[in-house]
Amino acid sequence: MAYLLHSPLCLLIAQLVVIIVTARVLGVLARKIHQPLVIAEVVAGILLGPSLLGLVAPDIKAALFPAASLGILGMLSQVGLILFMFLVGLEMDLGLLRGRGRASVLISHTSIVVPFLLGTGLAFYVYPTLMPEGVAFSSFTLFMGAAMSITAFPVLARILTERRLLRTKVGAVTITCAAVDDVTAWCILAFVVSIVRATALTEAVVTTVLAVGYTLGMLLLVRPFLARLAARNTGREGLTQNIVAVTFVLLFLSAWATELIGIHALFGAFLMGAIIPREGGFARILAEKLEDIVVIVLLPTFFALSGLRTQVGLLDTAEAWVQCALIILVACVGKFGGSYVAARVTGLGWRESAALGILMNTRGLMELIVLNIGLELGVISPTLFTMMVLMALVTTFMTTPILQVVYPPEALAKDLLEPPLADKRVTLPEGFSVLMCVALDRSGPGMAQLAGALVGKQTASDRLYGLQLHRPAERTSSLLEDEDAAESPSALEPLLARSRDHGLAVRPMSFVSREPARDICSVAEVKDVDLILLGWHKTLFGQAFLGGTVHDVLKNAQADVAVLVSRDLQAVRRVLVPFCGSPHGRVAVRLARRMAYAAGAEVTVLRIRFRNADAPHVDAFLADIAGDRVKVVEAVDDGNRATDLVVKAAQGHDLVVLGSAPLPIDQILSHCPASFLVVHHSERPGPVHRRPRPLTEPSTDATAHA
Amino acid sequence: MHFGATLRLLRVDAGVSLRALAQKIGVSSAYLSRVENGHDQAPTPDRLIAIARALDLPPTLLIDLAQRVSPFVARYLEDVPSASFLFLEIARRKLNAAQLARVHAFLDAEFPAWGAASAPAVPRLHELLTPERVILKLSCSYLGDAIDLAATRLAGAAPGLHATTLAAEIRERERESPTGVGHGVAVPHALVPELEPVAALVTLARPLHVPTPDDLPLQVLLVIVGGGRAPLEMLARAARLATPGTVAELCQATTPEAALARVRHVESEFG
């Protein structure tokens, strides 16, 4: 034994092997009884620690986990945790926090406040026996409160995904609440840590100020930078290693900064993950790169370390077990009860409320992370640590079976959200065909949404095409090229997925093109489409609108072209059309009217008159267009106020459709947060040219040139 | 390459019915149908020559496609047995196309052939293609889409050609009888005698599952428009692309030039 473990590195590797194997074996068992993997990993840690291995075979435990080696293992697990918290942040979509209505706000707040208060209350009861010496009572109380209000966002997300609950109302509300809970709980925790570490009040104030400044800096400076970095570097080619390196350096700097400030390094990692832009798969690719090594190799070391610190033997009195039971009870009552009551108040049924409560009660490994921080700070004693670990284990363990009882699959089937987009089709002129050109995968969903709005319920004469043009390879190695192609999914995938959701059939095409603009135009011609839809992407520096490929397509296309500036276009319900009477504007109005009739959108045409000028043909055009679904509003522009008028009117609209001239699009775009569709009218050749002709007709000059 | 499918392709484009062709060469139409479907071996060289006459094709081309030994060669070997030894030597050395070309050049210089050294009536395949008419790594779900895209490139080849009309003609011919020639190659085409022939090459990133003679999904399309003097001969040459090696190399090509070089290489192998 001693020979096998003679050097620190040998020891570390042996520890890793034992830890990973134990966790994986138990993981298989956990799967058998429908438990999340976390349970297996925590139990594996406890089994390897003094609670079992230390009791049964103290020699082996002493040889395998000597006290001297725990420092190295500890550092490794800390790095693992930093990366893991980064992953948690990545999974946490801050977009979830926006606009989710009163229900989520009420439930999430209640589900923090109630357990927090109960936790502090419990602190009053247990502090005589369980509070370590030399700790301020206030710190202990605050920590107990924070520890009670944790919800395990990652475990929750995994349970919801596995049970296909994400698309139910319960799932949507729960995931939002859990996100809010976790962000709040981590903020509270960061605050508690800073208070515990501070020796004087002034120091605590300084820490808090620094922490707020750091958070603002991350949100206001680093986040926009990352957004541009991501916009620039994701999509067709995936991420280069340099970009990943930059991200990691930023991550470690962020963790380092928070550790220096005095809140925990994990907070910095979490915040960094949370502000990584979600668009374009940047976050997804990063997560994929990280996930395996972190979850399989590094995280189990953390569990093992927690297990080594968990000494069930410390609970040797009846009183201790009573306290332990009380902690579990309070934790459940606080979290489950709090969320259940709040959910009932907001009008959810008892089944849904109970499901939500039990889900929120899952504490998983987030609790473990918090507890380890507490133990390292000395805020809680090893005995209390053990009790709380058991609490985390029990609350996580009970989630799946109870959920099975209160929310069986039959109830779930009834609750699956109906897909939106009602069919309110009024008769529209003939079929409509759109060619959607996708360059980056994140522009796909918006385009599909728009196509759905233009076509409504697809009939045989409505044709939708998705086109993706690859740049010719620069590398010569065909082998590498093939591997790349196999790894990166097509940029068309998100478009096709969203189209399927809306019941639209899109015919995908992609190929290598040296002149994308020319190919877009010729595909549009051969497919005889009514509209070419292009995406617009922010460049890293500068924002020339309608430049490059888009410009070339506008110039050469024989069909109308629309450029979609999608700012997370989720639905096309309210549409604004600023209109000055230009030919481009007329096409914009017609497209919007199509949305009104095909998808039931509410369309407002904002007629802008320049200095009250009279334009009878425009009036006639509008009179023809206006109907029960298309409303016309007048506005007068007495000198360069068009931008303001449009920006003001655009409030509350999902989509602004406007002609490529004469309104100042660059200005409007930068001032208005809505999604835009910029429409360009192209003169099409008359119907005579488009009628199929016999091939041989132009034979004379064709032969001459061939 | 699937000989039977190629034969059917040529027969359909020559406008000869199965029964008529069978009668002309003196076999049963059931036998000919089995050959076309690949249930029977390629016919003997003599029958191949008869078919070539009936379809107005150079006999050597069909014999090449069927991978048979030409009767000329067989007769020559009977007359001059020592020549057979020379062939054996060449086979033993496993000479490749480039080395055979050198032998060929030596023969030309040393023993010039009598007459008949005029330029071939049919342009080589790579002369029909240009880099602009090569579409690489196309992925789509319908053969029609691929044909449409090829038509857009072909339309640029001559003024007055319209992609939509071209595509409609090619699709119509494809509907009549699929143009797969095996090993994942198809040669959709619209034969118009008045037009000088042009072609577009399409390699597919995602093989298309359409009915083909050997049930292999399509990977390469050579779309041909026009005809010139000997359209059938051109199609027969196109069928030579259908070997596993050529298809694999074409699909791996990342630049049009590389794909064209491969086509040129195939053409040079046949002298």
Look up the CATH number of the domain holding residue B156: 3.40.930.10
Question: How does pLDDT run across A379-420, given as a tens digit for each residue?
Answer: 888 888 888 888 988 988 888 888 888 877 666 666 554 443
B152 and B242 share a domain? yes
Q: Report yes or no: A579 and A607 within 8 Å, Cβ to Cβ.
A: yes
Residue type, A314: L
Is B87 domain-assigned? yes
- Mean pLDDT score, A280-307: 81
Distance separating alpha carbons of residues A336 and A343, to the nearest angstrom? 10
Determine the residue of chain A that is closest to B250 in CA distance: A478
Does residue A421 register a pLDDT over 80? no
Is B68 domain-assigned? yes
Is B165 domain-assigned? yes
Task: State the pLDDT at residue A481.
Answer: 41
Does residue A468 register a pLDDT over 70? yes
Question: How does pLDDT run across A70-90, given as a tens digit for each residue?
Answer: 888 888 888 988 998 888 888
Distance separating alpha carbons of residues A358 and A20, to the nearest angstrom? 30
Question: How does pLDDT run across A505-523, given as a tens digit for each residue?
Answer: 888 888 888 888 888 888 8
Terminal-residue alpha carbon distance, chain A: 83
B153 and B39 share a domain? no
Distance separating alpha carbons of residues A478 and B42, to the nearest angstrom? 36
Shortest distance, CA A561 to any CA of chain B (angstroms): 19
Q: Residue A569 — pLDDT band, cuts 50, 70, 90?
A: confident
**Helices within A557-698 (DSSP H only):** 583-599, 616-625, 642-649, 665-671, 687-690
**Can you tell me which residue has the tokens 């001693």?**
A2
Is B100 domain-assigned? no
Q: Which of residues 484-503 of A touch B (CB under 8 A)?
A: 485, 490
B140 and B70 share a domain? no
Question: Which residue out of B129, B195, B204 would a mutagenesis test of the A interface target, given it has the greatest number of A Cβ atoms within 10 Å?
Answer: B195
- Mean pLDDT score, A207-229: 86
Last residue of one domain, picked from the residues B94, B111, B133: B94
Task: State the pLDDT at residue A241.
Answer: 77
Q: Report yes or no: A91 and A287 within 8 Å, Cβ to Cβ.
A: yes
Is B110 domain-assigned? no
- Assess B81–A contact: CB distance below 8 Å, yes or no: no
Does residue A253 register a pLDDT over 90? yes
Residue A456 in 3-state DSSP? Answer: coil
- Assess B139–A contact: CB distance below 8 Å, yes or no: yes
Q: Residue A2 — pLDDT band, cuts 50, 70, 90?
A: low
Residues in chain B with CB shorter than 8 Å from the CB of A485 are 137, 205
Is B232 domain-assigned? yes
Question: Which residue out of A469, A484, A512, A696 would a mutagenesis test of the B interface target, given it has the greatest number of B Cβ atoms within 10 Å?
Answer: A512
Q: Residue A704 — pLDDT band, cuts 50, 70, 90?
A: very low
Least confident of A185-194, A424-433, B171-180: A424-433
B170 and B262 share a domain? yes
Query: CB–CB of A705 and B253 under 8 A?
Result: no
Is B179 domain-assigned? yes
B142 and B258 share a domain? yes
| Number of domains chain B is built from | 2
B53 and B150 share a domain? no
Torsional sign, CA A600, A601, A606, A607? negative
Question: How does pLDDT run across B29-74, given as a tens digit for each residue?
Answer: 899 899 888 888 888 888 888 888 888 888 888 887 877 777 778 8
Task: State the pLDDT at residue A202.
Answer: 79
Task: State the pLDDT at residue A702.
Answer: 36
Q: Return the H-helix or E-strand segment holding B111.
A: none
B190 and B74 share a domain? no
Q: Which residues pair with A658 in a beta bridge?
A: A678
Q: Report yes or no: A591 and A677 within 8 Å, Cβ to Cβ.
A: yes
Q: Residue A249 — pLDDT band, cuts 50, 70, 90?
A: very high
Distance separating alpha carbons of residues A442 and A446, to the nearest angstrom? 8
B248 and B188 share a domain? yes
Q: Report yes or no: A642 and A523 within 8 Å, Cβ to Cβ.
A: no
Last residue of one domain, picked from the residues B48, B74, B94: B94
Ordered structural domains, chain A, with CATH: 8-414 (1.20.1530.20), 433-472+484-687 (3.40.50.12370)
Question: How does pLDDT run across B83-126, given as a tens digit for each residue?
Answer: 888 888 888 888 877 788 888 888 888 887 765 444 456 778 88
Question: How does pLDDT run across A520-564, given as a tens digit for each residue?
Answer: 888 888 888 888 988 876 654 444 566 677 878 888 888 888 888
Share of chain A above pLDDT 90, in %: 2
Is B44 domain-assigned? yes
B140 and B86 share a domain? no
Task: State the pLDDT at residue A252.
Answer: 93
Task: State the pLDDT at residue A475.
Answer: 45
Residue type, B21: L
Phi, psi of A57 (to 5 degrees): -135, 75
Q: Which of residues 93-132 of B touch A (CB under 8 A)?
A: none
Residue A294 tokens read as: 């972190």
Question: How does pLDDT run across B80-92, given as a tens digit for each residue?
Answer: 888 888 888 888 8
DSSP A519-588: HHHHHHHHTT-SEEEEE----SS---TT-HHHHHHHHH-SSEEEEEE-SS-----EEEEEE-S-HHHHHH
Nearest CB partner across the interface for B195, out of A507, A511, A699 = A699
- Assess B200–A contact: CB distance below 8 Å, yes or no: no
The CATH number that applies at residue B15 is: 1.10.260.40
- Assess B145–A contact: CB distance below 8 Å, yes or no: yes
Task: State the average pLDDT for chain A.
Answer: 78
Query: CB–CB of A512 and B137 under 8 A?
Result: yes
Query: CB–CB of A508 and B167 under 8 A?
Result: no
Task: State the pLDDT at residue A693.
Answer: 45
Task: State the pLDDT at residue A700.
Answer: 36
B193 and B239 share a domain? yes
Question: Which residue out of B132, B135, B149, B229 would a mutagenesis test of the A interface target, given it has the greatest number of A Cβ atoms within 10 Å?
Answer: B149
Least confident of A338-352, A378-392, A488-502, A669-683: A488-502
B143 and B251 share a domain? yes
Query: CB–CB of B148 and A526 under 8 A?
Result: yes
Last residue of one domain, picked from the residues B53, B73, B94: B94
Does residue B267 register a pLDDT over 90? no
Contact pairs from chain A to chain B, CB under 8 Å: 116
- Assess A509–B contact: CB distance below 8 Å, yes or no: yes
B139 and B249 share a domain? yes
Cα angle, residue A211 at apex, residues A207 and A212 outer, rounded to 5°: 120
Task: State the pLDDT at residue A482.
Answer: 43
Structural domain boundaries, residue B74: 1-94
- Mean pLDDT score, A367-389: 87
Q: Residue A424 — pLDDT band, cuts 50, 70, 90?
A: very low
Within 8 A by CB and 6+ apart from A638, the residues are A611, A612
Task: State the pLDDT at residue A100.
Answer: 55
